[in-house]
Chain A
Amino acid sequence: MELWRQVFIHGMDIFNILIISYFLIGNGVYTLLMALSLATVWLYNRRMAYQDMDEIRESPVTPPVTIVIPAWNEEQMIVETTKSTLQTDYPELEVVVVDDGSNDGTLARLVEHFQLTKMDLIYRPQIPTRPVLGFYMNPELPNLLVVSKENGGKPDALNVGINICRTPYFCTLDSDSILEKDALLRLMRPVIHSPVNTVASGGIVRVMNGCQIRDGRVMKVALPKSSLERFQVVEYLRSFLFGRTGWDLLGGTLIVSGAFAVFHRETVMEAGGFAHDTVTEDMDLIIQLHHWAALHGRRIRMSFTSDPVCWTECPATLRMLGKQRRRWQLGLCQTLWKHSEMLFNRKYGIVGNFSFPFHLYVEALGAVVEFLGYFMVPLAIIFGMVPALLYLLFVLLSLAYGGLLSIGAVLLEELTYRRYPSYADLAKLLWFAFIENLGYRQLVLYYRFEGVVRFLTGSWHWEKVTHVGVTRQVS
């Protein structure tokens, strides 16, 4: 009995170290990222005073871009997304919508709205994909091409888009998203200005729920009505405004949201295109590109810019949120596992020595540590190993610190873009940032924990998040 008691005590000691180190490393790095992002985004906005978009819009040397929209059962949003994409302000633009074997009216709606005709065009796959079933074009709209193919998953649909695209850069866009008119110009600016080959350029994804949409454009920005969606608004701000900005500044970009990102076509093809063996093909591609560059001794750059905006619909129900977060967590674990040779590998610089270990410990394993912490620490109190007061204070500290980081994200938003013009929305945003750690964080943690469990049990299937069109349409 004494032996078991000793084992338990040692186990708890180890767990306490894990949870304290998780708290310190996680919050320490997040604080660093917040400080870096505050400075970077403030400076970036000042620099915008002399960054004229006309230069990119009017220059004949601005490279043409193809926007690839993979769609599977997206009949609700696909026409709106395609319409908004065709209105994008960019000098030479092509749009390729890849219908990944939808069994709803996705293809029919596109054909009907854009008056497309089925054609038997040549398909020259450089990356192997599932068979293409048909091409749909309207000779009056030569920059739109819709491709119908057998269902093969999002990466397969994206690979079809890459095979078809002729331009040196392509932009991936989720079929439930809407681009701001000048978003692509802004996303391409770092590509054009950089003397180094910029292979990936990501922009910010914002929550569209609650906004007013007209003709494929966000006309009025407002907060959604439900608390679940409001929490996600704060979460997206934190994740994009200071998470990605900070990592970009450190040169440790590991995630560029495939919902809206530009890639260098040739490099992506050389790296093998989007892989099928993870459910987060965007993160996997970014790591694959780092891997490819290190392997071939090539100097590449990835950039994140905080002002090209893509609006997306976030899950409006707990069920859909659960599906989304489980998939994200599963994909994170799969991708880190797949590229585990990068961990503390000097060849990969900041990515291998800092960013990768952080994502592994705090973002992937952290879900397990934090989830178990909610059960293990009370046990430790019961067994008299930790004073109850200290535990209570520690919980309060972690909540207050979490709130500080979320409010920091709202401050960053206020210092820079101020997308939510009303005082009422600002106050609500701050309130939800403050209380995010009371309930919502635990809920998301539960879904993340489930994601890890799915990874460990081999339940690696894609969970489709369906949208209900929660934005207000204005005619």
Chain B
Amino acid sequence: MPFLIENITLVVLALFVLALLGNIFLIGVVFHRRHRRQKFFRRVDAFRERYSPVVAGVLSERLDYPDGLEQLRTIACPDRLTVLERLCLEKKVSPAEEPRLRRLCEDLGLVKIWQQRLMGRVDQASLREALSNPQGLLRRVKILHFLIRSKSAENLGLIRHEASWPLLVKALDDPNPDLQVVAVRSLAAIHHPASFPPLVEQLHKAVVDPAGNLSVRILKSALVSFSLQSAGKLRDSLRHTNPRIRFLATDVIREIVEREALGRPEFRLDSRNFSEEMAEICLTALPFDENPDVRARSAPVIARLADERAASTLLKLLDDSIWFVRLHAARSFAGSRFLQHAVRISKALTDPNWRVREAAVRTLRGFGAPGLDLLTAHFLATSDRYSREQIADEFQRAGLIPALMTRSTETGNGRETAVLRHLAEMGKTSYMIAALENGAGNGKLRTSFLELLGQSPDPQIQQWVEEVAAREADSDVRILAQEALGDIRNQGDD
């Protein structure tokens, strides 16, 4: 057939009509979808209104359990399972309510369905069901079954169904990445001690084969949710030939220990919560590991050991050749337990790496007044510009400048006054000026500052003195500023 322009015209016309019909079809789908969703949510809301008080009553024991269960069993609708799942799982329950929620889910038959689905036994939906609702579609199309299986794994984790842990462990080796991730998370939620080793095994696999489905972060996040007792099962990982596995195992223990110690400054690792063998590994193997990451991450664990060798081991780490090992060691000294080593820690204030210096400053400040005294003494005595900068930084960030100024006013020529002078010499005067401006009504503070630093060559101070000399309402302060200004000019003329 010859290629005629009429043919092209016809093709374009047909395409235009098709596109137009496509527009109309899509608009229809949008409105149909909106209508369907609204209908669905109205139905769910109606069930929620009627049965949420029943679930709440059962969980809080305000309602007789058999009565509540019977009422929930009467729910009958095409998406009964979805409705029941929403009713039971949409609100977070308190730890006291958890056992009752588990029992309720078991007695309603939900747990059995979730377990079966997790194992891959998904009931096939009819074509009509598949076309009429998305859940039906998921049940009909086999490649979408992973969505149902993953949701079931999630639900078992949400109710912390202990008996389901072996099924979840099995799911760790499922080819579907989503199911694997959800299984890891649910195992972490249940934290049954027996599921710890399989998770460690997955961590090893993730390290050896980084192209796998599970990320190291996901596995680490799961492992750190286990108890301190489980950490003992990482013994072999700590001795593994792969340095990254040793690092991750150390880091998992560190996270567990830090979680346990949160809000408990006196928390110690001793024979009641940490085996002697593990303590020995922490003291004699990890701080000397060839992998600096292991050495670094062992520091916070060592800091919590009740063993008297802990401090000396940490001090060794503070002298490590790798900066981030020293950084972690410096941070780990935080806490009054190591106050007696404050002088030794203050040596890290002159560390060549700024992050170590910063950590040392913060650790010392964390010691309270004695630490602050040490910092101040070092600040005044040292000729090391970098450590002075670092301490000045911390004084400002911690908001200590106004307190230093007040103290200087009270004590006259004390150490605080010397600190302020040093800060002015370093050009760190913005905060002082801001404190003076904020405390405009405090004539004594301003007078004291003018006497102390009114003649400082610092441009910010000079500008402030000029402003005070020109506009200050308090005549005494104004005169003092004018005198300071005169002195500065005289110095300039000389």
Residues of A within 8 A of B (CB): 43, 46-47, 49-50, 52, 55, 59-62, 117-122, 124, 134, 137, 139-140, 142, 192-196, 387, 389-390, 393-394, 396-397, 400-401, 403-404, 407-408, 410-411, 414-415, 418, 423, 426, 430, 434
Interface pair B181/A390, CB less than 8 Å apart: no
- Among B95-103, B276-284, B428-436, the stretch in contact with A: B428-436
Whether B16 contacts A393 by the Cβ 8 Å rule is yes
Taken together as a complex, chains A and B put the C-alpha atoms of A397 and B29 apart, in Å, by: 21
Q: When chains A and B are docked, how far (Å) is the Cα of A192 from the Cα of B429?
A: 42
- B211 located at the interface, meaning its Cβ lies under 8 Å from any Cβ of chain A in the complex: yes
Q: Which residues of B contact A426 (CB under 8 A)?
A: 30-31, 34
Q: A120-B426, A390-B8, A411-B26 are in contact. List 12 more A-B contacts (CB 8 A).
A: A47-B147, A47-B150, A49-B154, A60-B224, A60-B259, A117-B435, A124-B354, A192-B221, A195-B214, A389-B9, A401-B15, A426-B34
A387 touches B5 (CB 8 A): yes
User: A50: which of B20, B151, B396, B433 is its contact (CB, 8 Å)?
Assistant: B151
A50-B153, A397-B15, A414-B30 in contact; A434/B147 too (CB < 8 A)?
no
Is B341 an interface residue, CB under 8 A from the partner?
Answer: no
Contact A52 B30 (CB under 8 A): no
Q: How far is the CA of A390 from the CA of B438 in the complex (A)?
A: 76
Residues 209-237 of B, flagged 1 when their CB comes within 8 A of A and 0 if not, give 01111111110110010000000000000
Give the distance in Å from the alpha carbon of A191 to the alpha carbon of B9 in the complex. Answer: 51
Residues of A contacting B26 in the complex (Cβ-Cβ under 8 angstroms): 404, 407-408, 410-411
Taking CB atoms, residues of chain A closer than 8 Å to B185 are: 52, 55
* Cβ-defined partner of B210 (8 Å) among A195, A387, A393: A195
- The answer to whether A397 touches B211 (Cβ under 8 A) is no
B475 is an interface residue with CB less than 8 A from chain A: no
Beta-carbon contact of A404 and B398 below 8 Å: no
In the complex, which of the residues B16, B20, B181 has the most CB atoms of chain A within 10 Å of its own CB atom? B16
Chain A hits for B8, CB < 8 A: 390
B134 touches A134 (CB 8 A): no
- With A61-B224, A119-B396, A426-B34: A407-B12 Cβ-Cβ less than 8 Å: no
Q: Report Cα–Cα, A444/B433, bound state, in Å.
A: 51
| Contact A414 B34, CB 8 Å, known A117-B431, A120-B396 | yes
* Interchain CB contact under 8 A, B397 and A195: no
Assuming the A-B contacts A195-B213, A400-B19, are A118 and B430 also in contact, with contact meaning beta carbons closer than 8 angstroms in the complex?
yes
* A195 and B23 within 8 A (CB): no
List chain B residues, Cβ under 8 A from A410.
Answer: 26, 30
B188 CB to closest chain A CB, in angstroms? 8
Mark B116-139 against chain A: 1 for CB-CB distance below 8 A, else 0.
000000000000000000100010
B172 to chain A, nearest CB (A): 15
Smallest Cβ distance from A466 to chain B, in angstroms? Answer: 30
Contact pick for A192, options B144, B218, B396, CB 8 Å: B218
Contacts of B12 in A (CB 8 A): 390, 393-394, 397
Closest to B389 in A: A122
Chain B residues positioned under 8 Å from A137 (CB to CB): 396-397
Closest to B24 in A: A407
Main secondary structure of the interface of B (DSSP, over half): helix
Total number of A-B contacts with CB less than 8 angstroms?
Answer: 144
User: What are 16 sample pairs from A and B whose C-beta atoms fall under 8 A apart?
Assistant: A47-B147, A59-B224, A60-B255, A61-B220, A117-B431, A118-B430, A122-B389, A134-B430, A195-B215, A397-B19, A400-B19, A400-B20, A407-B23, A414-B30, A418-B34, A426-B31
Q: How far is the CA of A214 from the CA of B436 in the complex (A)?
A: 35
The number of chain B residues with a CB under 8 A from chain A is 66
Distance in angstroms between the alpha carbons of A140 and B397 in the assembled complex: 10
List residues of chain B with CB under 8 Å of any chain A CB: 5, 8-9, 12-13, 15-16, 19-20, 22-23, 26-27, 29-31, 33-34, 37, 134, 138, 144, 147, 150-151, 153-154, 178, 181-182, 185, 206, 210-218, 220-221, 224, 255, 258-259, 354, 389-390, 392-393, 396-399, 426-431, 433-435, 438
Is the CB–CB distance between B215 and A193 below 8 Å?
yes
Please, which residues of chain A bring their CB within 8 A of the CB of B19? 397, 400-401, 403-404
Residues of A within 8 A of B134 (CB): 46
Which of A46, A118, A400 makes the CB contact (< 8 A) with B434? A118
Of A50, A122, A195, which one neighbours B211 at CB under 8 angstroms?
A195
Q: Are B215 and A194 in contact (CB under 8 A)?
A: yes
| The 4 residue pairs across chains A and B that have the minimum distance between CB atoms | A139-B399, A400-B19, A50-B154, A118-B430
The answer to whether B393 and A50 have CB atoms under 8 Å apart is no
Q: Residue on A with the closest CB to B13? A: A393
CB proximity of A164 to chain B, nearest CB, Å: 12
- Closest B residue to A393 by CB, please name it: B12
When chains A and B are docked, how far (Å) is the Cα of A270 from the Cα of B458? 38
Q: Are A407 and B154 in contact (CB under 8 A)?
A: no
Q: Is the CB of A142 within 8 A of B397?
A: yes
Q: Which one, A49, A55, A430, contacts B151 given CB within 8 A?
A: A49
* Contact pick for A414, options B33, B210, B399, CB 8 Å: B33
Chain A contacts for B429, CB-based, 8 A: 120
Shortest CB distance A104–B (Å):
22
Whether A430 lies near B30 (C-beta < 8 A) is yes
Q: Looking across the interface, which residue of chain B has its beta carbon closest to that of A401? A: B19
**C-alpha gap A24/B458 in the complex (Å):** 68
Contacts of B138 in A (CB 8 A): 46
Hey, which chain A residues are within 8 Å of B30, CB to CB? 407, 410-411, 414, 426, 430
A426 closest partner in B (C-beta): B34
Assess the B150–A122 pair: CB atoms within 8 A.
no
B155 to chain A, nearest CB (A): 8
Q: How far is the CB of B459 from chain A (nearest CB, A)?
A: 12
B9 to chain A: which residues have CB within 8 Å? 387, 389-390, 393
- Residue among B20, B34, B151, B154 making CB contact with A423, cutoff 8 Å: B34
Task: Determine whether the beta carbon of A46 is less than 8 Å from that of B259.
Answer: no
Hey, which chain A residues are within 8 Å of B181, CB to CB? 193
For residue A140, which residues in chain B have a CB less than 8 angstroms away from its CB?
Answer: 399
How far, in whole Å, are A54 and B464 apart by their CA atoms in the complex?
A: 51
| Bound Cα distance A414, B224 (Å) | 40
Q: Once the chains are docked, how many angstroms separate the CA of A331 from the CA of B290?
A: 49
Q: Are A397 and B217 in contact (CB under 8 A)?
A: no
Chain B residues, Cβ within 8 Å of A122: 354, 389-390, 393
Pick the most buried of A49, A60, A415: most chain B CB atoms within 10 A of its CB: A60
Q: How far is the CB of B55 from chain A (nearest CB, A)?
A: 19
A49 and B217 in contact (CB under 8 A), knowing A60-B255, A121-B397?
Answer: no
Contacts of A117 in B (CB 8 A): 430-431, 434-435, 438
